[in-house]
Structure 1
Amino acid sequence: MSALLRIVRFTRALAPLYSAVILCSVLTSAASLAVPFLIGHATDTVAGAVGGQTATGAAVRTVVLIAAAVLLAELAQTVVSNIGGWFGDVMSNRMRTILSVRYYEKLLHLPQRWFDGEITGTIVARLNRSITEITNFAKTMSNSFASMLITTVAVLAISAWYAWPLALLLLIVFPVYVWLTSLTSVKWQKLEGEKNEQVDIASGRFAEVIGQIRVVKSFVRERGELADFSRRFASTDATTRAQSTHWHRMDVIRRAFLNVIFFGIYVIIFVRTVQGAFTLGEMVLLVQLMGMAKAPVQSMSWVIDSAQRAIAGSKDYFRVMETEVDPRTAAMLARRGTGAEAEVISAAGGTGTADREITADGGTAGERAPEAPSAAVATIDPVPGAPVVAFRDVSFAYEDGEDVLHGIDFTIDRGEKVALVGESGGGKSTIVNLLLGLYEPRSGAVEVVGRSNADLPLDELRSRIGVVFQDASLFSGTIRENIAYGRPGASDEEVLDAARRANAETFVRRFPDGFDQVIGERGLKLSGGQRQRIAVARAILKDAPVLVLDEATSALDTKAEIQVQKGLDELMTGRTSLIIAHRLSTIAGVDRIVTLRDGHVDEIGSPAELAASGGIYAQLLSLQNSGDKKRLAKYDITG
């Protein structure tokens, strides 16, 4: 129950809808309760007419009026229950919107370390399953259970008025029935958790396979992937059998108990009617009321089953919501006041997002569209004379244990081009991750414009850094949307200028829809060179003063590389650049090279200095001249 109350508190912005549902439930219950009284009165009237106590004409008029009253009560019940159902449908959908938006926002602000241990498909599956189970229960509660609960309370009160033993038996049946049902909860939820785990893993793998279907087909892994998927879902069959056996065994006990109690109730009603304590109409009234009380009890197992699924789903949901957000991310949200949430929830010692008013279209009241990040952020005041980027004795480990970076120490001055060269896995991309604030160093400090990375707001830090990754990482929208991703408010002229400078305009113009061409998931409708030039245009439009090229041409053929390199040369003009080297041809023009060996800085110097030092760079040049491609591959380097 605490988990369900937590959902209500978490969605307290829906309080007006909750109130409307409850009001409709009260009115529906009142209308339904009126019918047994009317029919009981009609029964007494008919009995009086048959027994000669009431004139036939008067009795006919009375029963006709009673029938009309029954009609009005049932019509009112029909209309009001449907109005309540409408509010319930809106409420459950709004709840889905709130929970989904908060889950998405939470994911967007979780630290990178959290994603390192998760599968994308599993994250999506958890969203769909958890929220669906929660909102289905909310819809069930609003459309039926609330009115049944109110009816039950009313029946208890009326029964106590006519005969206290009836109310006593009803008071016994409800808590005992719920108690018997609760006995199944611990085992049921444990088994449900086991099923959910297998389904989430299978769904996560499903998303991975569909996302990389070309790899699956090229390695002829269709059968293997299908077998693994089938095995995980098949494993849920045995769990479901055990779960269902346990549940229905308990259901037999519950319902048998219910049958015995209602046997006693009907005996009391019939015997007291025979004894003259109740009129025939009162007997009919009480029998109908008992039937109204029995219905919610009989449906209790179904309601509790739905509730348990919602509880199990909410545990997965809140486990994510309670994950601690990077303190700098939380500070950024509080400072900017943007996004779907602004308030911090302290739950189980974690950090989450809380309530803001949700508008009819699912947005937040008073919410502004996020402003396009600006490269020149006024709140960052550079320290005079300080390098633009500095690594000060930085050590770092992805997991507890051995560091992957050891005492990294180098600087990059304004307008300087610095390349990182080293073995595959030597820490080059890790340095980029630290610069972007995706991870925090274990010791030492990363500085930007003379200020510690840890002290800079993340949005302002990242707005000053443009990145072109080895994987272009495009989205499924149009070319225009992808180029303007860092500046959604950019004009058409600015987008066109960025594409032109990135050497992308020519091929974009060849598409039937030009810049409005939809490029498919991850830009699959474009060639590798085209995707990379769009990524370069995106970085150009962002216009950040610091540029990171993370093996930006490594996946391209020679012709595509030349085309992309022209755009990169344009992009690097006047910027401070950090380049992860892949081809030696891209290294020759840099100001300095930092070579890495086993996570340590090995050498720092100009290309000419390092070419004569006998170190890693000199070795690479020698290997290139000898055409030893096998040994060059160790350094992710080609000639």
Structure 2
Amino acid sequence: MTTLLRILRFTRTLAPYYVGIMIAAAIVTAAGLAVPFITGRATDVVVDAVSSGIAGDPAAEAVAGTVGTVLLLALALLAVSLVEAGIGNVGGYWGDVMSAKMRTILSTRYFEQLLALPQRYYDDELTGTIVARLNRSISEVTNFMKSFSNLFVTLILTTVSVLAISAWYYWPLAVLLAIAYPVYFWLTALTSRRWQRLEGEKNAHVDVASGRFAEVVGQMRVVKSFVGERRELNAFADRFARTETLTESQSRHWHRMDALRQGVLHLIFFGLYAIIFVQTVTGRFTPGDMVMLVQLMAMARQPVTSLSWVVDTAQRAIAGSKSYFEVMDLDPAAVDGGGERPVEPRGDGVGAAGSAEADAAVGPGSAGAGAPPAIAFRGVRFGYGDADEVLAGVDFAVAPGERVAFVGESGGGKTTIMSLLMGLYGVRDGRIEIAGAGRGLEDLRRSIGVVFQEPALFSGTVAENIAYGRPGASRAEIEAVAARAAVDRFVDQLPDGYDTVVGERGIKLSGGQKQRIAVARAMLKDAPIFVLDEATSALDTKSERLVQAGLEDLMGGRTSLIIAHRLSTIAEVDRIVTLKDGRIDEIGPPAELAASGGIYAELLALQASSARADRKRLQDFDVVG
């Protein structure tokens, strides 16, 4: 009931549909209740005619009146049937519309919640599981609500009406019915407890299997390259085999209890029919009363048996909505784990410990020497969840318009710094200051353009992917940045040019083509700060020269932070920040660090060496020559 009430609160805007469906159901039920009375009356009229002998004499004067009466009763049955058909279909139409609107509301709110959840949530969830949860949960909930809104009034109205009519005619009938309903409901409740637990276990297996399924489909090249088809299929089949075992246990329990419920129900209705038949023989009921009461008992059976179906679908909806509401109940702040995000610089220039050293690093030779820092990390400490710290007291400052490259071994914290810069995580300690950070994360991220090492494209067209950061950009603006990023060199060869659909994650394009589109997307955003995870790492030499020329133009006058994977890129920046074990090892211009004997000097020496051990050591830095 709690889950049902939550769904109703979530979809309160659909109240007019709920009311309309229930009114239609009430009219249909009332029409259905009229049938036994009409049939019973017709039975009495016909029996009276037969018993009086007028039925055997077509010339008898009373025959005409009797025929007129039964024809009117037949017309009444027709009218009732037409009402049931007409109003029933109106209610069905409202139910279909309500179901579609409910799916829209629940799906939209789920997606809205997912968009609000921090990056930390997605670090621990499979994409396919999230999607499977949406499809399964909402389908089960909407199907149940659609059926329940139709059945609720029918069940209540039929139950109350049959009890009242039975009590009016003969109170023992009402007593037996009053026993049947709670006993059946109690047995159903006993059945559903274990059923729901097993259904939850089945859903968990299905969600994991569906999540892996989506992941495998998205990484099919990798699966085939490593001959993983059979392994993935076996793991997938194993999950569903477990659901089979659970279903066997679940179904065995359900049908065993259902046999008990049905046995109790049949016993009670045996008593009801026996009473009706005996009381008719003894003269308490007329034949018409008997026909009417028998039909009423059949109608009384419907709410009881429907209760089993309602509970079944309700348990599925509850089990499905459990995972839905688990996501909806997540507090983004609690999932995030807290921690300060980048903020506007303080006006007094005073920061955390080590800030003076960080600001002093913006010295002679920097593009913005002497100016207040555009970016400053002040004593920043960070770790993922409860894990050990990835960054331990990082201090540095970047001047406006300066280009800074970050170099270090894999896992040294380079990507983490970029994630913190964009506010994807909060710091454990310290402070990040960014000029133009604004009042919230949206303002912050609008001020930063990003090109990831692995280009992330959507399944739309080339033009849509380029304009993702500026959806309102004109075609001329899109084509202008495409030319600067050398996208125009290959787009003319595509079937529909800029309107070519690139497929999921850009599957129809080469790595270099996807990277050029990603660069063009960042160019069109035209943000004052750029984060480049080696934007040319996937390009061949010719494409790299073309894109690099566009990037040089783009970075002019903009603050740029570069995770460097090519020594040729590192040599072109204003300064290099080397990282070691989550701490800054050195900061300085390339020429200065080349002679310092530190990490950058080691990289240059490794590049010049032809020894296998040195080439392997170079790979530890994610750097190529």
TM-score when normalising by structure 2: 0.91
Does 1:210 find its partner at 2:217?
yes
Does 1:444 find its partner at 2:427?
no
How far is 1:53 from its partner? 8.7
Does 1:470 find its partner at 2:456?
no
User: More deviation in 3-12 or 458-467?
Assistant: 3-12
How far does the alpha carbon of each residue in 1:239-281 deviate from its partner, in whole angstroms, 9 at most, with x for none?
1110001111110111111111111111222222223222221
Q: Which residue is equivalent to 1:332?
A: none
Q: Which residue is equivalent to 1:19?
A: 19
After the TM superposition, which residues 88-167 of structure 1 pair with which residues of structure 2 at under 5 Å, given as runs?
A: 88-144=95-151, 146-167=153-174
Q: Which residue is equivalent to 1:616?
A: 599
Q: Which residue is equivalent to 1:460?
A: 443
Q: SS at 1:637's partner residue?
A: coil
After the TM superposition, which residues 543-554 of structure 1 pair with which residues of structure 2 at under 5 Å, given as runs?
A: 543-554=526-537
Residue type of the partner of 2:16?
A: P
Does 1:7 find its partner at 2:7?
yes
Distance in 2, matches of 1:380 and 1:60, equals 93
Q: Which residue is equivalent to 1:305?
A: 312
Does 1:499 find its partner at 2:482?
yes
**Which one of the candidate residues 380, 401, 421 is aligned to 1:394?**
380
Distance in 2, matches of 1:541 and 1:457, equals 22
Q: 1:122·1:201 contact (CA, 8 Å) conserved in 2?
A: yes
User: More deviation in 464-473 or 505-514?
Assistant: 505-514
Distance in 2, matches of 1:380 and 1:619, equals 36
Q: SS at 1:484's partner residue?
A: helix
**Do the aligned partners of residues 286 and 458 (structure 1) sit closer, same or farther apart at CA in structure 2, a change above 3 Å counting?**
same
Residue type of the partner of 1:7?
A: I
Say what the alpha-carbon RMSD is for the aligned residues: 1.9
Distance in 1, matches of 2:616 and 2:536, equals 19
Q: 1:467·1:548 contact (CA, 8 Å) conserved in 2?
A: yes
Q: SS at 2:277's partner residue?
A: helix
Q: SS at 1:620's partner residue?
A: helix
User: More deviation in 383-392 or 508-517?
Assistant: 383-392
Q: 2:565·2:624 contact (CA, 8 Å) conserved in 1?
A: yes
Q: Which residue is equivalent to 1:38?
A: 38
Does 1:275 find its partner at 2:258?
no
Q: Which residue is equivalent to 1:586?
A: 569
How far is 1:217 from its partner? 0.7
Distance in 2, matches of 1:610 and 1:380, equals 31
Q: Which residue is equivalent to 2:353?
A: none
Q: SS at 2:392's partner residue?
A: strand
Unaligned runs of 5+ in 2: 55-61, 337-342, 350-370
Distance in 2, matches of 1:590 and 1:603, equals 15
Q: SS at 1:535's partner residue?
A: helix
Q: 2:344·2:433 contact (CA, 8 Å) conserved in 1?
A: no
How far does the alpha carbon of each residue in 1:401-453 deviate from its partner, in whole angstroms, 9 at most, with x for none?
3111100111111101111100011110001111111100011111111x8x6
Unaligned runs of 5+ in 1: 330-378
How far does the alpha carbon of each residue in 1:11-43 deviate from its partner, in whole angstroms, 9 at most, with x for none?
111111111100100110111111111111111
User: More deviation in 302-311 or 320-329?
Assistant: 320-329
User: More deviation in 160-169 or 53-62?
Assistant: 53-62
Q: 2:482·2:517 contact (CA, 8 Å) conserved in 1?
A: yes
Q: Which residue is equivalent to 1:373?
A: none
**Which one of the candidate residues 203, 217, 228 is aligned to 1:221?**
228
Q: 2:377·2:397 contact (CA, 8 Å) conserved in 1?
A: yes
Q: 2:403·2:559 contact (CA, 8 Å) conserved in 1?
A: yes
Residue type of the partner of 2:560?
A: S
Distance in 2, matches of 1:5 and 1:327, equals 25
Distance in 1, matches of 2:478 and 2:153, equals 55
Q: SS at 1:571's partner residue?
A: helix
How far is 1:533 from its partner? 1.0
Q: SS at 1:220's partner residue?
A: coil
Distance in 2, matches of 1:401 and 1:534, equals 36
Q: 2:484·2:547 contact (CA, 8 Å) conserved in 1?
A: no
Q: SS at 2:278's partner residue?
A: helix
User: More deviation in 289-298 or 270-279?
Assistant: 270-279
Distance in 1, matches of 2:172 and 2:103, equals 44
After the TM superposition, which residues 279-290 of structure 1 pair with which residues of structure 2 at under 5 Å, given as runs?
A: 279-290=286-297
**Which one of the candidate residues 408, 432, 440 is aligned to 2:394?**
408
Distance in 1, matches of 2:505 and 2:550, equals 21
Q: Which residue is equivalent to 1:631?
A: 617
How far is 1:328 from its partner? 12
Does 1:431 find its partner at 2:414?
no
How far is 1:616 from its partner? 0.2
Distance in 2, matches of 1:91 and 1:438, equals 38
Q: Which residue is equivalent to 1:333?
A: none
Q: Which residue is equivalent to 2:175?
A: 168
Q: 1:511·1:517 contact (CA, 8 Å) conserved in 2?
A: yes
Q: Which residue is equivalent to 1:421?
A: 407
**Do the aligned partners of residues 319 and 547 (structure 1) sit closer, same or farther apart at CA in structure 2, a change above 3 Å counting?**
same
User: More deviation in 556-565 or 263-272?
Assistant: 556-565
Q: 2:502·2:508 contact (CA, 8 Å) conserved in 1?
A: yes
Q: 2:121·2:335 contact (CA, 8 Å) conserved in 1?
A: no
Aligned length: 587
**Which one of the candidate residues 498, 501, 524 is aligned to 1:515?**
498
How far does the alpha carbon of each residue in 1:504-563 deviate from its partner, in whole angstroms, 9 at most, with x for none?
223222323111111111112111111111111111111110100013222333333223
Aligned-residue sequence identity (percent) comes to 62
Q: Which residue is equivalent to 2:521?
A: 538
Q: SS at 2:490's partner residue?
A: helix
Q: Which residue is equivalent to 1:363?
A: none
How far is 1:221 from its partner? 1.0
Q: Which residue is equivalent to 1:28?
A: 28
Q: 2:117·2:335 contact (CA, 8 Å) conserved in 1?
A: no
Distance in 2, matches of 1:254 and 1:63, equals 40
How far does the alpha carbon of each residue in 1:184-240 deviate from its partner, in whole angstroms, 9 at most, with x for none?
222111111111111111111111111010111111111111111111111111111
Residue type of the partner of 2:102?
A: M
Does 1:261 find its partner at 2:268?
yes
**Do the aligned partners of residues 447 and 380 (structure 1) sit closer, same or farther apart at CA in structure 2, a change above 3 Å counting?**
closer
How far is 1:153 from its partner? 2.4
Distance in 2, matches of 1:513 and 1:150, equals 61
Q: 2:531·2:560 contact (CA, 8 Å) conserved in 1?
A: yes
How far is 1:286 from its partner? 1.0
How far is 1:156 from its partner? 1.9
Distance in 1, matches of 2:525 and 2:39, equals 75
Q: Which residue is equivalent to 1:191?
A: 198
Distance in 1, matches of 2:538 and 2:271, equals 80
Q: SS at 2:385's partner residue?
A: coil
Q: 1:328·1:458 contact (CA, 8 Å) conserved in 2?
A: no
TM-score when normalising by structure 1: 0.89
**Do the aligned partners of residues 382 and 478 (structure 1) sit closer, same or farther apart at CA in structure 2, a change above 3 Å counting?**
farther
Residue type of the partner of 1:495?
A: I
How far is 1:637 from its partner? 0.5
**Do the aligned partners of residues 51 and 328 (structure 1) sit closer, same or farther apart at CA in structure 2, a change above 3 Å counting?**
closer
User: More deviation in 82-91 or 167-176?
Assistant: 167-176
Distance in 2, matches of 1:512 and 1:56, equals 84
Residue type of the partner of 1:229?
A: F
Distance in 2, matches of 1:92 and 1:149, equals 22
Residue type of the partner of 1:242?
A: S
Q: SS at 1:426's partner residue?
A: coil
Q: SS at 2:235's partner residue?
A: helix
How far does the alpha carbon of each residue in 1:141-168 deviate from its partner, in whole angstroms, 9 at most, with x for none?
2344542443222222222222222222
